[in-house]
A and B are shown apart, each in its own frame.
Chain A
Amino acid sequence: MRALLTRAALVAARPYLIVLALDVFIVSRWFRTGTFIAGGDMGAFIRRGWAPEMTWSWNHQQTGAGSAGYTMARAFEFILIWLCRLVGLTEYSAQWLYYTCIYGLVGFGVAYLAGAFVRSHAAIVVAGTFGMANGFFLTRLPNPLNVISVGSVAFITGVAMRAALGRRMPSPIAGFALMPTSFLSFNPPMLVVAYAWAVAGTPVLAFLLLGRTAAGRLLKWFVAAAPWAIGLNAWWLVPLAQSFVGGGGATANATFADPTNWSWSQVNNLPPNILTMVANWAWFLPQYLPFAAGLDRPWWIWIRYLLPALVFVAPLLASRRLRRVALGMLAVILVFVFLAKGLRPPLSGLNLFLYLHAPGFWLFREPMSKLGQLLVSFFGVMLAVTVEGMLSRVRRAAHRLRPFTYAAAATPVLLVLAYPYPIWTGGVMPDERPTQPSMHVRVAPEWWDVAARIDADPRPGKVFVLPLDDYYQMPTTWGFFGADSIANLLIQHPVVQPKPDGYFGDVPGFAADLRLIESALLAGDLTAVPKLLGAIGASRVIVRHDLVRGLPNRYFADDRVLAAAMARVPGATLETDGLLQVWRLGSGSSPTVRTYDRVLDAPARADAGAAVLGTVGSRTAIAARPDTSVAATSPQVDDSAAVTPDVVHWPVPAVDSGAPATTVQVAAGRYTLAQRARAAPALFPRVDGGSLLLEDPTVVTVDGKAVSRRPVLRVPLPAGRRVLAIQAGTRRTVSLDVAKPASVPVGSATGLTLLAAARTPARVSGFSPVFDCNNYEPRPWAELGLTARMTGTAKKRTVRLSAADHAACTRVVVRDAAPGQIYRVRLQYRRLAGPRPQICLWQTGAAGCELAARLALSDRWTSYEGVVTMDAGGELQIILHADVGLRLAPKAVTEYRAVQVQALEEVGSREVWPPVVPETSVDLTAGRHVLRVEGGPAGSVLAPFESLEDCYRYDDQSAEQAGLAADAQVGVDGETTYTLKAVSHLACIGSTAGDVGAASLYELSMQARSVALRNPKFCLYLRGPDLCRKLPSVAVYQGWTRYEALIPPDPNTVETRLYLYGLRDLAGKQQSEVEYRGVRLRPVASSSSVVLVRQAPAAPAVPAPSVTWTRSNPAQFSGTVTAAGATTLALTESAAPGWRLSGIEGATKVTLQGWMSGWSLPGGGTFAVRYGPARVARYAFYLLPVTVTVAAVFMYAVRLPPGRPGVWDVRHRRRRVRWRPRWPSWARRAR
């Protein structure tokens, strides 16, 4: 200790202390009192939910079903939070302390590495400061992964260089230096890169910079340090290894099949950006980096290039002693800059070769995030060399010029450090940015309250959170948009909340159960819900109302509907109301260890297992067969019947015509037949006397006999009013006074509005004289050729509009429209010449026409119906067009007739629920039987594809000049093949889908292939949201590639169109060619899946097996099974190889419910269930204090012999001693 406090030690530590002081200043600028820094992949800095299981290698951090985990790798976070709570502070303060520590590691690490080479304190400070203030962190904060990675790697490299130089470096230091890398285990590629550098990169660096002898010295030191590195880090290495080597539970989502899949992340990885440390895909996206525009201003951006200038000048300014170091470092920098550019020019082919052929190179799929970390360290060292070189030259300058030379030398360095000023000012954690909330987040107090209430109940049971996320990052109303982990972080009970597109996902069986719970709630199939919740071990359900709805391409369920449905679930009780509703299921406890009386042989398909679980009782489990299917490279819909001796599962498909049917081979027996909802049923409205009937036309038949049908929903109509139209939950209006009213999807809590003719009819004018409604340039009226010719009678008037240029329009005006008044406009139209007809419904005060579907390009009379609700009083104008559109385009002629405007008014509204389809029993003989669903829709709703268009005209080339071409050929099988070609621009053909919204589930299917140069691409365009719907993507196109996807309609859409594209040749020289065939958009014939479950044969009644059990820890349970005969024991934890049962002879392992650990027991007895790897992980954890103690003793006891002081003692000798301090006698060395 005395050695640490000597003057020499303090002087030696001075630059590092300065760097740490700057660290505290910088980090403090980022925080706001009482808020977390959270956003993107970073959730709130709360660990309460994980704390009880932190030290166990089986826990519920990744999935509520349980999985192998290595949460102890975050031990530092837990320690900090514990320390803060100990002194009365909160997690908010703990996060500040956390960032101060890890960012301090960065500054210290880079300074420490530079200090291995340079002697100047100023140079060391500059290196450390640059480590903290550079463009790399500017674009990656606040993700702690990059911070810890840079800091660890820099520190480890500094240790290695010192060891290579022969300095005092006790070998246990290696173990302590590697401890921060435990956090990198949450990004395995980053961890691999860090260790690859530590083990292989540092010796190579030592060889390049210091020579062969130094490299050999380092390797010898590695041999001595390796046992310490392993012993001091086994506490997280062991559970990490267990998780990745068949630990079980969660499945890894991140795959890397094609390096070009990540090319989007390399879009800005050009050499200038890499050299200036701003290479990041988000640089030009203000929603992520709102400060980037400020840094790109002309008067500031030039500073960016001082950095490579100062780095590359280092060898020129370096002292002779450091010249080799500088040149060697420069060589390494050049190599890394080349690799960091990824697939960007120049020489991208070479990088692609490395990605495809170099082992492990896939780790650099986002190269700047991995290699940029090392560049930060190297640049820091080079800056230090430059500064030291400059200082030595300045000292040689004439005395009177010295201040100016100091200023001239310091200015570029200070500018380089100042360039990323948002890091200094706190702007790097922005409060305002487009479409994203502030980075400073205060967690809604309701979450803290709900977590405390739930955790006050110590009984077992999982907590299921609804609605299910559509993406792992969710927008909340309390100002957080990022990884949706708040429930898991706060609640100590296992939380079931899948994270789509995150690093880890649930096993398919568990995921299917969760999807079906939500689908059943939305579709009104409520009897299945408690059974499924019991099957996943849930005792509580949280329905949250804190998500922001309506963002583009975000599709998650309506929480209002879910809450209304939960209120009707048998056995559910509302425990907490408000922003978060908590529903208790049954008694509020769901046993972790349980027995089942019967186990059914279920198909491998996960959805089949879920459908069975929603049908059977709670004493029956399923054992799904292993899935041996080959993973498809393009999305597929498996709608074939899955059959086992106990189960038939048939997701009713979409068909081109007729009724779907399938033949199944079953064993003899009595079967329960049920229809499990996949989506809301589509019901057809019909007025019958004083009631509105909503009927499901589908009937399930077995061998031609009707066996399952949904009852009719009967809604009483108001007396004396004729209901003309209805609206069911969406803006879509369905008229009843037509020959065949369209269907309406009716799910849970659907709001049904009845519309009848208003008592006061609409006051409608006649057609106005023709006028120009596209006057884009002044031209004489005579040249426009605008005419409106009326024919027919007053009641059935036809108007023909004609225009040679601009647009010929006429209007029909509805006067004295009251606010809220509803009008239904009907007419017929046909196009005789020119572009598409247009109808504009415009109301007083509106900025434009009502959002509506485009009219068809048809020369036959086509019916039109539009419904508009007046926002304010005034006029409603129905403006009919014949619009030429473009200048010099052909003449436009359109006819309109039979215009009717009817005023409607609401005469009733109520909440309706779909009638439940009752389960029935059918007796089947052994053999083949035919299942059929009759009465459902058939055929594609796509209109014929229209003619070729240019969907991306970015210059003045015409379609011909751009090489656009489209062709349609009908094959011998009757299928039409569409061929699209393009040299530049974008060839496209579009087809309108009729009345998407009449059904609740559609199947988009086609085959597509690339003929030349580019892959197929298509878009399901939604008018209203005005975007292409998010669709599952194709991994690889191989010849004719089949594509199938199930798509629910978007309620905010007024029109759906399918576009097929021919992408351009990127070089703009050759003509690309793609083909499509079998293009269909079909509603499924039934929104249900048909399930048959063989009932248990009659048997003498025996007492049901039971189990009493206790939980010792997350990885160990024990108890006693009482059973008269064979039974099945289950554990509501994911099936994993490590779970083993002991105590009952003859027990065999089985996976139950598609995900759960289970054992078939020949009889009762006392048992113990353990997760075996947890014991080994526990020993490794207990090893930590032992190894730390031994390391400390070793470092004290084993010191280098005297006479080898290294260079430390002489380094800080003062050059000019003006005065000598007088030290007290106790501090002076004995002479």
Chain B
Amino acid sequence: MSFDDAGTGARPRARHRRPHRSLTELAGSLWRRALGLAVVLFAACGPAHAFGQTGLVFHTTLLGLALAGLAVPLGLAGLRHEDLAD
């Protein structure tokens, strides 16, 4: 907060507002979450199969593959962003 603005009535500049992000930057953060979730889903299939839930395993695997399929282009876009940022 700037003391120069004190008493002027102007709204102080928000410190924690996120700056405007590009799509590639957004992709760069999203792909990790998608892929991480896919990894967790695959690992969770193990106990599910051990308990005989083969139908659940099938659909969970498909979901994991879909998330991974989403993560790959996002990741490559995110890489491009990092390259450009460098």
Interface set of A (CB-CB < 8 Å, partner B): 270-272, 275, 298-299, 301-306, 308-309, 312-313, 315-316, 320, 323-324, 327-328, 330-331, 334, 337, 346
Nearest Cβ on chain A to B36's Cβ, whole angstroms: 6
Looking at chain B, what size class is its interface with the partner chain? 20 to 34
Using Cβ atoms and an 8 Å threshold, which residues of chain B touch A316?
32, 35-36, 39
Q: Is the interface of A mostly helix, strand, loop or mixed?
A: helix
Using Cβ atoms and an 8 Å threshold, which residues of chain B touch A309?
39-40, 42-43
Are A301 and B50 CB-contacts (below 8 A) given A316-B39, A330-B68, A337-B65? yes
| Of B3-11, B13-21, B55-63, the one with at least 4 CB within 8 A of chain A | B55-63
Are A327 and B58 CB-contacts (below 8 A) given A304-B46, A305-B49? no
Most buried by B among A272, A275, A313, A334: A272
Query: Are the CB atoms of A346 and B47 closer together than 8 Å?
Result: no
Considering only residues 59-86 of chain B, those with a C-beta below 8 Å from chain A are 61-62, 64-65, 68-69, 71-72, 75-76, 79, 82
Query: Are the CB atoms of B35 and A312 closer together than 8 Å?
Result: yes
Nearest Cβ on chain B to A308's Cβ, whole angstroms: 4
Interface string of B16-48 (1 = CB under 8 A from A): 000000000000000110011011101111110
Query: Are the CB atoms of A272 and B58 closer together than 8 Å?
Result: yes
Query: Are the CB atoms of B62 and A346 closer together than 8 Å?
Result: yes
CA distance A327 to B77 in the complex (A): 11
Please give me the 8 A-B residue pairs with the lowest Cβ-Cβ distance, nearest first.
A302-B46, A305-B46, A298-B50, A309-B43, A308-B42, A305-B45, A309-B42, A272-B61
Query: Are the CB atoms of B75 and A303 closer together than 8 Å?
Result: no
A299 contacts which of B35, B40, B50, B68 (Cβ < 8 Å)? B50
CA distance A270 to B57 in the complex (A): 11
Using Cβ atoms and an 8 Å threshold, which residues of chain B touch A302?
46-47, 49-50
Q: A305-B43, A315-B35, A324-B79 are in contact. List 11 more A-B contacts (CB 8 A).
A: A271-B65, A272-B61, A299-B50, A302-B49, A308-B61, A309-B43, A312-B35, A313-B36, A316-B36, A323-B75, A331-B72
A334 contacts which of B39, B49, B72 (Cβ < 8 Å)? B72
Using Cβ atoms and an 8 Å threshold, which residues of chain B touch A301?
46, 49-50
CA distance A323 to B32 in the complex (A): 12
CA distance A747 to B59 in the complex (A): 61
Closest residue to B72 on the A side, CB-wise? Answer: A331
Query: Are the CB atoms of A306 and B43 closer together than 8 Å?
Result: yes
Query: Are the CB atoms of A315 and B46 closer together than 8 Å?
Result: no
Using Cβ atoms and an 8 Å threshold, which residues of chain A touch B68?
312, 330, 334
CA distance A308 to B79 in the complex (A): 23
Query: Are the CB atoms of A270 and B58 closer together than 8 Å?
Result: yes
Closest residue to A298 on the B side, CB-wise? Answer: B50
Nearest Cβ on chain B to A576's Cβ, whole angstroms: 57
Are A271 and B36 CB-contacts (below 8 A) given A302-B50, A315-B75, A334-B68? no
Query: Are the CB atoms of B57 and A327 closer together than 8 Å?
Result: no
Query: Are the CB atoms of A303 and B46 closer together than 8 Å?
Result: yes
B72 contacts which of A272, A313, A320, A327 (Cβ < 8 Å)? A327
Q: Is the interface of B mostly helix, strand, loop or mixed?
A: helix
Nearest Cβ on chain A to B68's Cβ, whole angstroms: 6
CA distance A328 to B36 in the complex (A): 17
Closest residue to A333 on the B side, CB-wise? Answer: B68
Nearest Cβ on chain B to A310's Cβ, whole angstroms: 8
Are A312 and B42 CB-contacts (below 8 A) given A298-B50, A323-B79? yes
B64 contacts which of A299, A312, A315 (Cβ < 8 Å)? A312
CA distance A478 to B61 in the complex (A): 46
CA distance A272 to B46 in the complex (A): 10
Using Cβ atoms and an 8 Å threshold, which residues of chain A touch B49?
272, 301-302, 304-305
A to B CB contacts below 8 Å, 20 in the list:
A270-B58, A271-B65, A272-B57, A275-B65, A298-B51, A302-B47, A309-B39, A309-B43, A312-B42, A313-B39, A315-B31, A316-B32, A316-B35, A316-B39, A324-B76, A327-B79, A330-B72, A334-B69, A337-B65, A346-B62
Query: Are the CB atoms of B50 and A271 closer together than 8 Å?
Result: no
Using Cβ atoms and an 8 Å threshold, which residues of chain B touch A330?
68, 71-72
CA distance A305 to B68 in the complex (A): 15
Most buried by A among B36, B57, B75: B75
Q: Give the A-B contact count at a CB cut-off of 8 A.
A: 79
CA distance A316 to B52 in the complex (A): 30
CA distance A346 to B59 in the complex (A): 10
CA distance A543 to B43 in the complex (A): 58
Using Cβ atoms and an 8 Å threshold, which residues of chain B touch A334?
65, 68-69, 72
Closest residue to A334 on the B side, CB-wise? Answer: B69
CA distance A160 to B39 in the complex (A): 30
Nearest Cβ on chain A to B72's Cβ, whole angstroms: 5
Query: Are the CB atoms of A308 and B50 closer together than 8 Å?
Result: no
Query: Are the CB atoms of B47 and A271 closer together than 8 Å?
Result: no
Using Cβ atoms and an 8 Å threshold, which residues of chain A touch B43?
305-306, 309
Query: Are the CB atoms of B46 and A306 closer together than 8 Å?
Result: yes
Closest residue to B47 on the A side, CB-wise? Answer: A302
Using Cβ atoms and an 8 Å threshold, which residues of chain A touch B40?
309
Are A271 and B62 CB-contacts (below 8 A) given A316-B39, A323-B75, A331-B72? yes
CA distance A1109 to B61 in the complex (A): 70
Using Cβ atoms and an 8 Å threshold, which residues of chain B touch A315?
31, 35, 71, 75
A327 contacts which of B38, B47, B76 (Cβ < 8 Å)? B76
Nearest Cβ on chain B to A415's Cβ, whole angstroms: 10
Using Cβ atoms and an 8 Å threshold, which residues of chain A touch B44?
305
CA distance A238 to B29 in the complex (A): 55
Using Cβ atoms and an 8 Å threshold, which residues of chain B touch A272?
45, 49, 57-58, 61
CA distance A315 to B35 in the complex (A): 8
Using Cβ atoms and an 8 Å threshold, which residues of chain B touch A328?
76
Nearest Cβ on chain A to B86's Cβ, whole angstroms: 10
CA distance A303 to B50 in the complex (A): 10
Query: Are the CB atoms of A271 and B58 closer together than 8 Å?
Result: yes
Closest residue to A302 on the B side, CB-wise? Answer: B46
CA distance A308 to B63 in the complex (A): 13
Nearest Cβ on chain B to A224's Cβ, whole angstroms: 31
Nearest Cβ on chain A to B8's Cβ, whole angstroms: 46
Using Cβ atoms and an 8 Å threshold, which residues of chain A touch B76?
324, 327-328
Query: Are the CB atoms of B46 and A275 closer together than 8 Å?
Result: no
Nearest Cβ on chain A to B24's Cβ, whole angstroms: 14
Query: Are the CB atoms of B72 and A271 closer together than 8 Å?
Result: no
CA distance A330 to B31 in the complex (A): 13
Using Cβ atoms and an 8 Å threshold, which residues of chain B touch A270?
58
Using Cβ atoms and an 8 Å threshold, which residues of chain B touch A304?
46, 49
CA distance A175 to B35 in the complex (A): 40
CA distance A315 to B78 in the complex (A): 12
CA distance A292 to B68 in the complex (A): 29
CA distance A309 to B45 in the complex (A): 10
Using Cβ atoms and an 8 Å threshold, which residues of chain B touch A308?
42, 61, 64
Nearest Cβ on chain B to A205's Cβ, whole angstroms: 15
Using Cβ atoms and an 8 Å threshold, which residues of chain A touch B71?
315, 330
Nearest Cβ on chain B to A566's Cβ, whole angstroms: 56
Using Cβ atoms and an 8 Å threshold, which residues of chain A touch B47?
302
Nearest Cβ on chain B to A331's Cβ, whole angstroms: 5
Using Cβ atoms and an 8 Å threshold, which residues of chain A touch B50?
298-299, 301-302
Closest residue to B46 on the A side, CB-wise? Answer: A302
CA distance A309 to B35 in the complex (A): 10
CA distance A203 to B40 in the complex (A): 33
Using Cβ atoms and an 8 Å threshold, which residues of chain A touch B52?
298
CA distance A315 to B68 in the complex (A): 11
Nearest Cβ on chain B to A640's Cβ, whole angstroms: 54
Nearest Cβ on chain B to A1030's Cβ, whole angstroms: 33
Nearest Cβ on chain A to B11's Cβ, whole angstroms: 40
Query: Are the CB atoms of B35 and A305 closer together than 8 Å?
Result: no
Most buried by B among A299, A303, A313, A337: A313
